Amino acid sequence: MCAYHCSLLASILVLSANAQVALRPKVFLEGPFNSDTGTMTAALRTQPSFPLTEPFTALGFTMMGGSGEMIQASVLDMDGNNAVVDWVLVELHSATDPGTIMHTGCALLQSDGDVVPLNNNGVLVIPGATPGNYRVAIRHRNHLGVMTAAPVALSLNITTWDFTTGALDTYGSDALKTVGSYRVLRTGDAHRDGQIKYSGSNNDRDPILIRLGGIPNNVVSGYHPEDVTLDAQVKYTGSGNDRDAIMVAVGSNTPNNVVAQQIPPVCPATVTDVDGNVYPVVQIGGQCWMAANLRTAHYSDGSIIPHVTDGYAWGQQNTGAWCNYDNDPANNATYGKIYNWFAAANPGICPLGWHAPTDAEWMTLESTLGVPAEELNIEGWHGVAQNVGGQMKTIDLWNSPNTGATNSSGFSSMPSGSRSSDGDFYLVGTDGPMWSSSEASELYARYRSLKYYQTGVLRHFFFKEVGLCMRCLRD
Ligand SMILES: [Ca+2]
Ligand SMILES: [Ca+2]
Ligand SMILES: [Ca+2]
Q: Residue 261: helix, strand or coil by DSSP?
A: coil
Q: Indicate which ligand has the atom closest to the C-alpha of 142.
A: 2
Q: Give the model's pLDDT for residue 356.
A: 98
- Tell me which ligand sits closest to the C-alpha of residue 78: 1
Mean pLDDT of 335-360: 96
The number of the ligand nearest the C-alpha atom of 43 reads 3
β 159-162/22-26 pair status: parallel
Q: How far is the CA of 236 from the centre of ligand 3 (A)?
A: 9
For residue 182, pLDDT beyond 90: yes
Confidence of residue 59 (pLDDT cuts 50, 70, 90): confident
How far is 29 from 140, CA to CA, in rounded Å?
9
- Expressed in angstroms and rounded, the spacing between residue 229 Cα and the centre of ligand 2 is 15
Q: Looking at residues 210-238, what average pLDDT do you find?
A: 97
What does each C-alpha distance from 364 to 286, 348, 382, 434 come to in angstroms? 9, 22, 12, 15
Tens digits of per-residue pLDDT, 131-149? 999 999 999 999 999 999 9
Q: Is 84 helix (H, G, I), strand (E, B) or coil?
A: strand
Distance 203 CA to ligand 2 centre (A): 6
CA of 438 to the centre of ligand 1 (A): 55
Give pLDDT, residue 66: 92
Give tens-digit pLDDT for 16-43. Answer: 445 789 999 999 999 999 999 999 999 9
Fill in the amino acid letter for 29: L
Closest ligand to the CA of 25? 1
The radius of gyration of the chain's CA atoms, rounded to the nearest angstrom, is: 26
pLDDT (tens digit per residue) in 152-173:
999 988 888 899 999 999 998 8
Compute the distance from residue 190 Cα to the ligand 3 centre, in Å: 11
- Rounded to the nearest angstrom, the distance between the alpha carbon of 25 and the centre of ligand 1 is 11
Q: Ligand 1: distance of its center to the CA of 39 in Å?
A: 10
Residue 19: per-residue pLDDT = 74
Residue 236 has pLDDT above 90, yes or no: yes
pLDDT of 4 reads 41
Q: Do the Cβ atoms of 415 and 431 come closer than 8 Å? A: yes
Asked if 136 contacts 161 with a C-beta cutoff of 8 angstroms, the reply is: yes
Q: Looking at residues 441-457, what average pLDDT do you find? A: 98
- Averaged pLDDT for residues 69-92: 97
Q: Which ligand has the shortest distance to the CA of 203?
A: 2
pLDDT in tens, 259-269: 989 998 767 77
Beta strands in 378-456 (DSSP E): 380-382, 416-419, 425-428, 434-439, 444-449
Q: In whole angstroms, give the CA distance from residue 433 to residue 367.
A: 19
pLDDT for residue 245: 96
Contacts with 319 (C-beta within 8 Å, 6 or more apart), sequence order: 306, 342
Answer whether 105's CB lies under 8 Å from 127's CB: yes
Closest ligand to C-alpha of residue 122 is: 1
CA of 59 relative to ligand 1 center, distance in Å = 27
Is residue 158 a contact partner of residue 112, using CB atoms and an 8 Å limit? no
| CA separation for the pair 82, 93 (Å, rounded) | 27
Q: What is the pLDDT of residue 408?
A: 84
